[in-house]
Structure 1
Amino acid sequence: MKRQKRDKLTRAHAKGYQAGISGRSKEICPFQTSDTRSEWLGGYREAMEDRQLGVVVR
């Protein structure tokens, strides 16, 4: 059975979240198109909120 690839926007969001959790800069966003870049930054912002609230413990 073939595995389906995840949606690119979902993947971009997840990668942005991971970058935010690890404390990396938002300037390292690897995406150039506006839709995927927007999703990546959305994940990044969500991770930064979670870090401030103390949801994530490193």
Structure 2
Amino acid sequence: MKRQKRDRLERARARGYQAGLSGRSKEGCPYQSMDARGYWLGGWRDALDDRTIGLMAK
């Protein structure tokens, strides 16, 4: 059971990362549960950081 939960949360993080890379707003988070929402937002924030680093390198 723990593995299934971790996989679901990692999937939420990956989807948040993709949303952040594409420039979507954090208000577009599709998750309602606090755990999944937190992972999604974490991925979204990581993507924003990566975009900023990428823009500064150009």
Give 2:22's aligned residue.
22
TM-score of the aligned structures, taking structure 1 as reference length? 0.82
Any runs of at least 4 consecutive aligned residues in structure 1 with deviations exceeding 6 A, and if so which?
A: none
Find the aligned partners of 2:10 and 2:24 in 1 and give their Cα distance: 19
Secondary structure of the 2:30 match is coil
> Of Structure 1 and Structure 2, which has the larger fraction of its residues in helix?
2
Deviation sequence 1:6-55 (CA, Å, 0-9, x none): 81000000000000000011100000000000000000000000000007
Trace 1:39-50 onto structure 2 (pairs within 5 A). 39-50=39-50
Code of the aligned partner of 1:7:
D
TM-score of the aligned structures, taking structure 2 as reference length? 0.82
Paired residues, number? 51
Give 1:53's aligned residue.
53
CA RMSD, aligned part only? 1.7
Percent identity over the alignment?
A: 61
Structure 1 gaps of 5+ residues are none
